[in-house]
């Protein structure tokens, strides 16, 4: 586990990039920009609890050659200021970069704080690009892709203690899936914190003789990686998507669209929030309660295979992902 990865990385990365300005909506410490504010006070703008103005203001600065990095909780970006995102930023394809923290069930703040349909909303906006880093390596390497993308970018950001699941020398590459395991039985697409859960399950399943083509998806829009199309075309028993989001409009829907448009005759199982709001609680409790964890994935896989595998929750809990560095390196293609 690494602590406050974005906070330290941003300061290092932005040091010699004077066009980068950071906007905060009264959540400076909570979105890991306190160190930036301390180091570069001239490039840090406190905008108060006023997200609509903040996003339009950022658009104005973007027109003048600055690249605003807007930081707040994910929900307060797209729910509070959707028209501003569309009319002030996205229509004009302006380089405003929106860092949405605490996506989905990663917040203990309950329904008002849980961004569960943000990908669905943002994916439908023309010109919008959506990234969801899945670990410390991707958080550290996503910023180059963010500024190299000409227009607006929305990020689902992780904070606090973040695992390193992927090798440090294998950076985030936009619109390119990261293969985490190979296999013919099933294809599994996972994003964000669900990738960690999925990796636990695939490790145990491998010992049971089930092989899974597991792709970590860190770019939700565009969704045009040929490797993803190839992966969903190939498996024997079907495709599973797993996301920290509603099953409507996010990764599961993107996969369904791709399958339908390419006439791929496979089963698709979407793991995510089943068209329901959630409530406040710990991440592990919520992922269990709403069926977004490794155990639920195993159950769904058993369903697709048509057989029980005898995997227990203890088997899954015993998996230590970060200690298996050699395996990740070996299979990261």
Binding stretches for another protein (CB under 8 A): 45, 47-48, 50, 52-53, 56-66, 83-84, 87-88, 91-93, 126-127, 150-151
DSSP 180-244: EE--SSEEEEE-THHHHHHHHHHHHHHHTT--EEEEE--EEES---HHHHHHHHS-SS-EEEEEE
3 state SS of 245: strand
- In the complex with another protein, the residue whose CB is nearer, 30 or 149, is 149
- In the complex with another protein, the residue whose CB is nearer, 58 or 251, is 58
Shortest Å, Cβ 44 to another protein: 12
Half-sphere exposure for 93 (CA within 13 Å, toward CB): 5
Shortest Å, Cβ 47 to another protein: 6
- In the complex with another protein, the residue whose CB is nearer, 56 or 179, is 56
What does each C-alpha distance from 292 to 82, 178, 246 come to in angstroms?
27, 20, 11
- In the complex with another protein, the residue whose CB is nearer, 103 or 152, is 152
Shortest Å, Cβ 69 to another protein: 14
3 state SS of 20: strand
Rounded CA separation 278/296 (Å): 17
- In the complex with another protein, the residue whose CB is nearer, 21 or 198, is 21
Residues in Cβ contact with 122 at an 8 Å cutoff, skipping those fewer than 6 apart: 78, 85, 128, 130, 154, 221
Where on the phi/psi map is residue 260: left (φ > 0), alpha (ψ -120 to 50), or beta? alpha
Shortest Å, Cβ 62 to another protein: 8
- In the complex with another protein, the residue whose CB is nearer, 57 or 99, is 57
The number of angstroms, rounded, from the C-alpha of 251 to the middle of its chain's C-alpha atoms is 10
Shortest Å, Cβ 79 to another protein: 15
- In the complex with another protein, the residue whose CB is nearer, 80 or 114, is 80
Shortest Å, Cβ 197 to another protein: 35
* 135, 194 contact by CB (below 8 A): no
Shortest Å, Cβ 223 to another protein: 16
Rounded CA separation 47/315 (Å): 48
């Amino acid at each position: 586990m690494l602590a406050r990865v974005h906070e330290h990385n941003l300061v290092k990365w932005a040091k010699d990039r004077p066009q980068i300005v950071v906007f905060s909506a009264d959540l400076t410490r909570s979105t890991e920009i306190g160190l930036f504010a301390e180091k570069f006070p001239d490039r840090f703008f406190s905008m108060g609890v006023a997200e609509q103005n903040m996003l339009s203001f950022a658009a104005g600065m973007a027109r003048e050659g600055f690249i605003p990095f807007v930081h707040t909780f994910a929900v307060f970006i797209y729910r509070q200021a959707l028209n501003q995102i569309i009319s002030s930023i996205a229509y004009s394809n302006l380089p405003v970069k929106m860092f949405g923290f605490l996506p989905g069930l990663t917040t203990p703040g309950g329904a008002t704080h849980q961004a569960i349909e943000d990908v669905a909303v943002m994916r439908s906006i023309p010109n919008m690009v959506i990234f969801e880093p899945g670990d410390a390596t991707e958080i550290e390497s996503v910023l180059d892709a963010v500024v190299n993308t000409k227009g607006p970018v929305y990020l689902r950001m992780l904070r606090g203690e973040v695992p390193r699941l992927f090798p440090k020398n294998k950076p985030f590459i936009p619109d390119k899936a990261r293969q985490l395991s190979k296999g013919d039985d099933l294809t599994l697409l996972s994003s964000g914190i669900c990738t960690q859960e999925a990796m636990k399950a695939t490790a145990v399943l491998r010992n049971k003789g089930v092989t899974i083509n597991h792709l970590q998806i860190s770019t939700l829009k565009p969704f045009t990686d040929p490797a993803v199309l190839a992966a969903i075309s190939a498996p024997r028993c079907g495709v599973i998507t797993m996301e920290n989001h509603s099953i409507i409009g996010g990764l599961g829907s993107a996969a369904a669209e791709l399958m339908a448009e390419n006439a791929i005759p496979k089963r698709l199982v979407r793991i995510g929030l089943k068209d329901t709001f959630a409530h406040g609680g710990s991440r592990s409790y919520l992922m269990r309660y709403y069926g977004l964890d490794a155990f639920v994935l195993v159950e769904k896989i058993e369903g697709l295979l048509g057989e029980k595998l005898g995997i227990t929750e203890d088997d899954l809990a015993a998996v230590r992902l970060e200690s298996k560095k050699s395996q990740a390196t070996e299979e990261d293609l």
